[in-house]
Amino acid sequence: PPPGAGAGVDFVDGAVTIAANGDPAGQDGCGANTYSLSASMSARGRYMRHADADVLILPQEGALEVRTELGDFRVEPCELALVQRGTVFQVNLAEGTQSARGYFLENFGDLFVVPELGPIGISGGLAHPRHFLAPQARYEETEGDFELVSKFLGQLFRSPLTHSPFDVVAWYGNLVPHKYDMRLFAALNTVTYDHPDPSINTVLSSYTSSPGLANIDFVIFPPRWMAAEGTFRPPWFHRNCMSELMGLLHGTYDAKPDSFQPGASSIHNRFTPHGPDGGAVRAGTDADTSVPERYSGSLAFMWETRLAWHPSEHALAHMDDPAYPACWSSVERRFDASAAPPAAEAYAFPPDARR
């Protein structure tokens, strides 16, 4: 996890880029960042406008007050805020909060949408549109010495202002900043055996013209029930054509209970083998899968993109963990080619279970 912010550090100064891909000028790809702050942007009369990307903010510690031209909202850990590109905004510490840190994503590509649900239907699965909340309207007319920080074509610019840009009296439309409480996500899972694809946990997607290859999928692993029988329940070992960046907002991640801390990040670029650590493998192997298990007290997320993540120089210099592969060193070799194969059940449930 990144260190806490020193005194007087706001959202702009406390932002650190972990990795990125694509091209802001071509409106393709994304950037992954963390933030640590101990001061509000309002304390310095500072505002920001991102011309390249929609900004997805995920608080990990400390509540935020996000102010925009179209209104304000309070965003706490387990909630997200999404501010569309071109919108002037301000990130402040919420009342009673002394410091905060978390993650934020810059989406250079197509606008985020709730994913197409297909045979799941639209009745209530995954993230429901009714749970995305528009900001509380607020208007101010204040003159003074202010600063606007703009990000344009990947570069930061600043310019003086003589009045607050939050002087919008009214607005019309549906492209509006919003927040979403991830505790309202209706998680779906198998109730027989094996694993659905992790895409079943997608909250938001930025699509491309190639079906199945998203510019970015925002996926969460929320509290949920695991009921699959005869199944290794933790995430499997795999390689993926997509590139994954994982983060942990709180609790422990079921695939790496011994080696992944809240606030940390991991990157597995396309076709890089990865999977659960030794502790997760032992727990998953020894579990009695005839008993449903409740996963609680945790919220992990993944930013999955069709483009490879390019780690920043800062990340390589200050966040690299050379010992990371050791999390798999305690995974036991369990296959014995000389042993008789176990009896296999041809059905998800034995025939007498249908009587």
For residues 48 and 139, membership in a common domain is answered with yes
Q: Is 5 within a domain?
A: no
25 and 162 fall within a common domain:
yes
Q: Is residue 223 part of a domain?
A: yes
Number of domains in the chain: 2
Q: Is residue 331 part of a domain?
A: no
What is the mean pLDDT of each successive set of 10 residues along the chain, which is 355 residues long? 86 97 96 97 97 98 97 97 97 97 97 91 85 93 96 97 94 92 94 88 95 94 92 89 95 79 93 91 92 92 97 93 90 89 68 54
168 in the same domain as 202: no
Residue 225 belongs to a domain: yes
Instruction: Confirm or deny that 163 is annotated as ligand binding.
Output: no
- For residues 238 and 279, state if they share a domain: yes
Residues 161, 48 share a domain: yes
What CATH number does residue 197 fall under? 2.60.120.10
Is 200 within a domain? yes
Q: CB neighbours of 336 closer than 8 A, spacing ≥ 6? A: none
Same domain, 158 and 139: yes
Marked catalytic residue, from 128, 195, 250, 310: 195
332 within domain boundaries: no
- Together in a domain, 81 and 193: no
In a domain, 100, yes or no: yes
Q: Supply the pLDDT for residue 45.
A: 96
Query: 153 and 200: one domain?
Result: no
CB 253 within 8 A of CB 298: yes
Is residue 238 a known part of a binding site?
Answer: yes
Residue 224, domain extent: 184-319
The rounded distance, in Å, linking the Cα atoms of 98 and 76 is 13
| Same domain, residue pair 141 and 222 | no
- Does one domain contain both 158 and 256? no
Query: Which pLDDT score, from 0 to 100, does residue 174 have?
Result: 85
Same domain, 173 and 288: no
Residue-level pLDDT at 195:
87
Same domain, 206 and 146: no
- Tell me whether residue 310 is one of the annotated catalytic residues: no
Asked whether residue 4 is domain-assigned, the answer is: no
From 186, 188, 168, select the one nearest 177 (Cα to Cα).
168
